[in-house]
Amino acid sequence: MKAYERLLKYVVVRTPSCDGEEEHPSSQCQFDLARLLEKEMQELGLTDICLDEHCYLYGKLPATPGCEDKTSIGFIAHMDTVSDYCDHEIVPVITENYDGRDLPLGDSGLTLSTDIFKHLPGLAGRTLITSDGTTILVADDKAGIAEILTLIERLQTENIPHGPISVAFTPDEEIGTGASGFNVEQFGAKYGYTLDGDTEGEIQYENFNACKARFDIQGFSVHPGSSKDTMINACLVAMEINSLLPGMETPRGTEDYEGFFHLTDMSGDCAKAQLNYIVRDHDKNFFEARKNTLRLIEKNLNAKWGEGTVTLTITEQYKNMAEIIDGCMHLIDNAKKAAEAAGIEPQVIPIRGGTDGCQLSFKGLPCPNLGTGGHAYHGPYEHITVEGMDKSVDMIVELVKIYAEM
């Protein structure tokens, strides 16, 4: 079975994770996909298959004769998706021999535009897969799952020599807790790769340091007609907080290694308000400076409006895995060789985000990230090509061959 055929089978199983939920997994629907994958892994002949109570799914492909002592590597993808644009059935749309021009997305009124997505002309002649424009496609990261299981199938049907191979599919990556319950010992590999990137040939091992920041603002609400020197409008204090942050250091105003403050949502009234941010920076010292900026805002506004008016809660999420991968750069060098062997130009670029591998690297499993062939994740413009998926599979097949020869 081709990787895209697996993807089309998986996309109809909606698996949005739910931020703010205390349970793990955050949504029970993730088990629907996990059970489907568990059955497929059994059919593919994987061993040591385990689906635990927190929706982590593990399996192994034993080494071929003579390769038992080769370095064990593993591949990981996540089963959950973002919850945005995922409130009803997902309808994948296949456009064969795409012409590289603007493409209307069903009857949604949205258009996949070459003015916005500059890479589209380069996809001309390929088979393009999109949604109908009313949902995400969920290639992030069901494309990664499809490519990993296609790898497992090819290794066996093509009789490719390989060392011990581990596979894992995780829940709740999109809300930052995908690696929290990951059992590295159960996984059983010395090194891992997540398949959770964009363009085929992408190789990523430098990611953001990341945290969430929440400001809770307690106002003092009285009748506006008699509020002179008394009222503290929580909404206005919230606006003041945001105004004290550097205006250009947002996702829209930054690129490459530049960090940002991103206001994800806000709510409130005169009596109380809340601001939620994610904070990102590749540089560890700059990241700490960003958190200190938030603490200084809390301190100064409490001095201005009264102690207890502003409460800041910072929740650490993940760190830059480059600290770990720098000690095992063969993971990157071999991925580059594998890309070239598959006829792909390797692209070593920083991740402006994070993956399960960021946390796993600090749990003893060095785990860079590879591209899956997809683009424009987390929105209705998400798309992927059949050929990009095929090339991504070719690349990890070559990667397995390299480690079987080491």
**Which residue of the set 38, 80, 141, 196 is catalytic?**
80
**Annotation marks residue 390 as catalytic:** no
Is 18 strand, coil or helix? coil
Strand partners, 170: 78
User: Does the active-site annotation cover 198?
Assistant: no
Helix (H), strand (E) at residue 129 = strand 128-130
What sign does the CA torsion over 351, 73, 4, 18 have? negative
Indicate the pairing of strand 209-218 with strand 272-281: antiparallel
Q: Which residues pair with 51 in a beta bridge?
A: 57
Per the CB < 8 A criterion, the answer to whether 406 and 70 are in contact is yes
Given the DSSP bridges, would you call strands 57-61 and 47-51 parallel, antiparallel or unpaired? antiparallel
Residue located via tokens 């590289």:
100
105: left (phi over 0), alpha (psi -120 to 50) or beta: beta
Q: Which of 173, 200, 298, 394 is catalytic?
A: 173
Q: Rounded to the nearest 5°, which phi and psi values hold at 289?
A: -65, -35
Structure tokens at 95: 């456009």
Catalytic residues: 80, 173
